[in-house]
């Protein structure tokens, strides 16, 4: 599904990722853990195609296709979804309008026909229920005045609606209390599917208690420095990053 080879990424001329390699197959859930400043968010942004993140070396293949050649909206239409650490507030655009526009844009790009307003409403309502996203939230401007938990729930709701093939969750646990975290994690788990790959990016092991990964990769100073099964998270929790980062990769 996703094959990253020797990826080097620079931001403002400063190299952040320095030769990262990673492969995720369909149906797998991988976690990237790492200390602050290790390049976790850079990885998520470069996968989603944010401007200003320059690939200086290496490649990203998504379903065998060069991801870097695609605009952000093309990636989204092809099934790449990034749940952002800080979802953007957009005053003046209601959440419902946004969802409808995004959904139909993706459908159109794939050559599918638009869903009409009633169809979208039905779909959104059905999915919103399970994530405890209220009608009232959908009427408000996108993320404006939403609490941290509401913003994250809305990100997962979008994931449920768009049904991506590759979902990247960037620090989805940040700013959530334990109840909100459980709700979000349940939403994510419900979307685990043999045809879907997920990349969960987190600083803490906590989230991985709820979303149990198949593989864990430890990112430090722009490189993967350790890899292992879910037990690696516990080791990290016990010994800290320092310990692992110091060992030669």
Partner 1 sequence: MTLALNLDRKAEAAAVVHSHGVPHRRIEEWKYSDLKSALGEKGLGAVTAGWLVGNLPSGVEMFDLAQPDPPPWVMDHFARPTQNVMRAASLVLSAGGVALRVPAGAQIADVLKLDFTGPGHVRGLLVLEGGAALTLVEGVGQKNIETDFRNVGFEIVLGEGASLEHVRISPADGQAVLVEAASVHLAARAHYRAHFAGFGSKLSRMELDIALEGEGAEAHLSGVAVLDAHAHSDVTTHVIHRVGNTNSTQLFKHVASGSARAVYQGKVTVAKGADGSDSNQSAKALLLGDAAEADLKPELEIFADDVKCAHGAAVGDLDAESLFYLRARGIPEGQARGLLLQAFLEDAVAEIGHTDLRERVAAELLTALKAVA
- Strands 14-24 and 2-11, by their bridges, are antiparallel
Q: Considering the rule CB under 8 A, would residue 75 count as an interface residue with partner 1?
A: yes
- Contact between 98 and partner 1 by CB under 8 A: the answer reads yes
Q: Which is nearer to partner 1, 28 or 155 (CB)?
A: 155
Distance CA 103, CA 148 (A): 24
Position of tokens 């790009």? 109
Q: Does 42 bind partner 1 (CB under 8 A)?
A: no
Between 113 and 179, name the residue whose CB sits nearer to partner 1: 113
Q: Does 133 bind partner 1 (CB under 8 A)?
A: no
Q: Is 165 in the site for partner 1 (CB under 8 A)?
A: no
Examine residue 137 and tell whether it contacts partner 1 (CB under 8 A): no
Residue closer to partner 1 by CB (options 87, 228) is: 87
Interface with partner 1, residue 190, by CB under 8 A: no
Q: HEC states along 59-93?
A: EEEECCEEHHHCCHHHHHHCCEEEECCCCCCEEEE
**Which CB atom, from 38 or from 106, has the smaller least distance to partner 1?**
106
DSSP state of 196: -
Closest CB to partner 1 among residues 56, 101: 101
Among 10, 93, 121, 123, binds partner 1 (CB under 8 A): 93
- DSSP-assigned letters across all residues of 214-245: SEEEEEETTEEEEEESTHHHHHHHHHHHHHHH
Residue 127 CB burial class (10 angstroms; 0-12, 13-18, ≥19): buried
From 23-31, 65-73, 146-154, 226-234, span contacting partner 1 (CB under 8 A): 65-73
């Amino acid at each position: 599904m996703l094959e990253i080879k020797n990826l080097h990424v620079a931001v403002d001329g400063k190299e952040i990722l320095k030769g990262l390699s990673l492969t995720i197959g369909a149906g797998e859930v991988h976690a990237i853990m790492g200390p602050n400043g290790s390049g976790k968010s850079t990885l998520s942004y470069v996968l989603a195609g944010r401007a200003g993140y320059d690939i200086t070396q290496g490649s990203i293949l998504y379903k065998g296709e060069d991801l870097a050649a695609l605009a952000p909206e093309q990636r989204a239409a092809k099934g790449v979804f990034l749940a952002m650490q800080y979802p953007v507030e957009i005053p003046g655009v209601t959440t419902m309008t946004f969802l409808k526009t995004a959904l139909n844009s993706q459908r159109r790009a794939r050559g599918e026909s638009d869903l009409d307003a009633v169809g979208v409403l039905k779909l959104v309502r059905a999915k919103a229920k399970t994530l405890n996203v209220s009608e009232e939230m959908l009427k408000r401007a996108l993320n404006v005045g939403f609490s941290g938990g509401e913003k994250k729930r809305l990100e997962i709701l979008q994931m449920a609606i768009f049904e991506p093939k590759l979902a990247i969750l960037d620090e989805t646990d940040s700013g959530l209390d334990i109840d909100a975290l459980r709700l979000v994690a349940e939403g994510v788990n419900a979307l685990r599917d043999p045809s879907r790959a997920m990349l969960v990016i987190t600083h803490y092991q906590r989230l991985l208690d709820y979303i149990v990964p198949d593989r864990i990769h430890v990112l430090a100073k722009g490189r993967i420095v350790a890899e292992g099964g879910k037990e690696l998270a516990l080791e990290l929790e016990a010994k800290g990053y320092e310990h692992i980062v110091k060992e030669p990769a």
